[in-house]
Structure 1
Amino acid sequence: MDWEAHARRLADEVVRPESRWHEPLATTPRHAFVPSWWENVGGQWELREGAAGPGRWLDVAYSDRTLVTRVGALHADDAPPDCVTSGLPTSSSTLPGLIVQMYRHAVIGDGSEVLVTTGSGYGTALACRRLGDRQVTSIDVDPDLVALATDRLREAGHRPQLAVCDITGQLPGTYDRIVSTVSVRPVPASWLAALRPGGRLVTTIAGTGLILTADKTEDGGAVGRITEDGAGFMRTRRGADYDRPTEAVWEKAQHADGEEVSASRYPLLSVPDSWDIMSMLELEVPGVDHRTAQDGEERTVWMLHPDGSWARATARGFLDSPTVHQAGPRRLWDALERIRHRLNREGRLPVHGAGVNITPDGETVLSRGAWSVTL
């Protein structure tokens, strides 16, 4: 299988030829880390098997896109042929351009010893190509994923240290860089303990599109910023699947009359379609679950919270004023509209470019101007 030409093409698309990440991208067999994957078709996940269509396999594997490898507890490698499933993605092979973006934010030097997250193992392989196996430690909370990645990394000629580990707990060593392609909130104190003096951590904040970079300070904390570019990663988990704490709220919110009914002044917005607004809302009201539905020209969005709060907004057409139903201890739609007011008034939300200050015990404060939030 002539995968090398596809890998070189991918490398040329993602970075310039003089980049230190060009050679790793051009010589790492991504298809070997993703022999099967899930594609979302109409809200359902359909299995795709590389061996069933080698040409498409290479096209997909060497495209700059994320490939979902597990939905719920079902890994694509373990699914029966033509399987269709539903649920939340729980593991993936992150798009190569984003992996390199995260590594660049980490400012990895030739001598850096790094901790990365495992997933499919592809990002670990890129780090091994760049640094050498002995400088790379890769961890995942799932033993099956670590076992799969270990085998595939060995087939690709790599033997980094791999470990089954909850990244929010104690880490298996000390490092110059920690790069997490799973999102956290707040930054675990164990990361600060595992970072060497002057070390850097790079991660995303759970539920947002915000990349956080921070350098360790002499007092054992860290200072940094939220980058101007964004990214979204799956949240950390401890079991095989994510809990859905809003299912009981969903039963009420689908059709019930709200305790308060109003007309929104803004066109209907599905919050995850706007990363800045989604990020700002998640910082101020953590844990909102967003859902959508469309029936002909009528569109509906829901905001659900584990505390029992919910909002449902429905509109016909993109410019019509939505009718909003809200109930529960908080008015979620009102919180959203305050953020949209601020965006209209100031032209920008303060999330990107915000300063970051992390105490040694992991308390994380974001601030910009008069605005601040503690994670």
Structure 2
Amino acid sequence: MTWETAAADLATRVTHRSSPWREAVARIPRHVFVPTWWVADSGRWSLYEPVSEARWYPAAYADRSLVTRVGDLHADQAGPDDHPSGKPTSSATLPSLVVSMFEHARIDDGDTLLDVGTGSGYGTALAAYRLGDAAVTSVDVDPYLVEAARDRLAMAGLRPRVETADATAPWRAEGRFDRIVATVSVRTVPAGWLSALRTGGRLVTTIAGTSLILTAEKRADGAAVGRVEWDRAGFMPARHGANYPADASRLLVTAQEIDGEDVTTSPYPAVDVANAWDLDSMLGLTAPGIEHAYRDEGDRRTAIMAHPDGSWARAVSTGEEATVVHQGGPRRLWDILDELRSYWLRHGELPARGARVLITPEGETRLARGKWRAVL
């Protein structure tokens, strides 16, 4: 198998025949952007170094994300004995999702694009191939990622502008871009993105802690209006430094055993919240920052929640018995979850997906659907 054959096969899988992105996917050598990566192996991260094209190409041209950085250690800079701890902090996003985000942006030939979250550089390469180098600016907070992406883009014959920058900070290029596409998630849309967007321009991002895709077009008054799409996507939160702030991981472990300040029962069974995408998204809007763990041991299911503010909950469902809930800390996290599940039963659905969006010039993001409202 040649890389050209693998790339053409990938293009067939992730684009339709008339897609303006098909040729870019078929012509960009994705393997150049992912020479090595991390894989989860028996509960720890291990380095994957392809030793031959026969191992490299099938993985590099699969439609899946490849984790390239865990904690503050990039796979390029690691050895076979390294096993970093922490969360993934950069990856090469699965190609179908990159294409989907660009399609949500409704990019036309001749548009200028701000690509937020360079990462491996693969998405930047697709955009530069289609639009031309001069039309694409890509930014990432990580200097190493920017340097590596520049080199790998050059290997692919591409030279878009790639800069080291915290894209959530004020942006100096006012009204410069027709489109902004972020492959990192944000809680609220940075005001700098609106100022960098031309009137009539369109932005696409995801709301941090959710699978919600937000699209909006800039008005003449500096605000932007749009919607939460029915589609789903998940991206790492935008970083502002080398790693993410401390989270609730330790409390998540502790909460598996300790007794709660409150011990109650719930009418609902324990649920794997992280994999219940709509429920997880509503919880992410309502109480952002919660970490989750879940165990299914046949007749016994345990769901655990923890927040950096010290709040935690553990719910255990055994057979047909009522779910027993232990909770502690300043907030009752399982009560918040049960309120959302009650809303779902009363109304037949959760309201976030499909909601209207208004982003003020200052970046406040307002969601509305029917009588439901949320301000981020």
Pair in the same fold by TM > 0.5:
yes
Alignment check: 8 A CA contact 1:43 1:86 kept: no
Tell me how far 1:313 sits from its aligned partner: 1.5
Tell me how far 1:42 sits from its aligned partner: 3.2
C-alpha separation between the residues in 2 aligned to 1:167 and 1:212? 17
Counterpart residue identity of residue 38, structure 1: W
Match of 1:267 in 2: 269
Distance 1:218 1:324, change over 3 A: same
Q: Deviations over 1:113-153 (max 9, x none)?
A: 00002000000000011111110000000000000000000
C-alpha separation between the residues in 2 aligned to 1:179 and 1:158? 19
For normalisation by structure 1, the TM-score amounts to: 0.95
Match of 1:73 in 2: 72
Match of 2:223 in 1: 221
Matched, 1:280 2:279: no
Match of 1:140 in 2: 140
Q: Deviations over 1:315-346 (max 9, x none)?
A: 346x6643210112211101111111222222
Match of 2:330 in 1: 329
Matched, 1:102 2:101: yes
Matched, 1:244 2:246: yes
Alignment check: 8 A CA contact 2:252 2:291 kept: no
C-alpha separation between the residues in 1 aligned to 2:151 and 2:145? 10
Alignment check: 8 A CA contact 2:206 2:233 kept: yes
SS in 2 for 1:181: strand
C-alpha separation between the residues in 2 aligned to 1:214 and 1:107? 11
Matched, 1:368 2:331: no
Alignment check: 8 A CA contact 1:200 1:213 kept: yes
Alignment check: 8 A CA contact 1:267 1:320 kept: no
Match of 2:13 in 1: 13
Match of 1:62 in 2: 61
Q: Structure 2: give runs of 5+ residues left out of the alignment.
A: none
SS in 2 for 1:154: helix
Counterpart residue identity of residue 245, structure 1: D
- Greater shift after overlay, 281-290 or 216-225? 281-290
Match of 2:211 in 1: 209
Match of 1:88 in 2: 87
C-alpha separation between the residues in 2 aligned to 1:259 and 1:72? 33
Distance 1:43 1:292, change over 3 A: farther
Match of 1:189 in 2: 191
Distance 1:83 1:316, change over 3 A: farther
Alpha-carbon RMSD across the aligned residues, in angstroms, is 1.7
Tell me how far 1:40 sits from its aligned partner: 1.6
Match of 1:23 in 2: 23
Matched, 1:42 2:42: yes
Distance 1:82 1:4, change over 3 A: farther
Distance 1:56 1:338, change over 3 A: same
SS in 1 for 2:9: helix
Match of 1:313 in 2: 315
Q: Deviations over 1:275-316 (max 9, x none)?
A: 100110111111111123466764432211122211012234
Q: Deviations over 1:332-372 (max 9, x none)?
A: 10111111122222221111100000111011100100001
Match of 1:348 in 2: 349
Alignment check: 8 A CA contact 1:288 1:303 kept: yes
SS in 2 for 1:232: coil
C-alpha separation between the residues in 2 aligned to 1:46 and 1:221? 45
Tell me how far 1:260 sits from its aligned partner: 1.2
- Residue identity (%): 55
C-alpha separation between the residues in 2 aligned to 1:45 and 1:252? 22
Q: Deviations over 1:155-181 (max 9, x none)?
A: 000100111000101235321111000
C-alpha separation between the residues in 2 aligned to 1:294 and 1:362? 41
C-alpha separation between the residues in 1 aligned to 2:82 and 2:295? 24
Distance 1:320 1:96, change over 3 A: farther
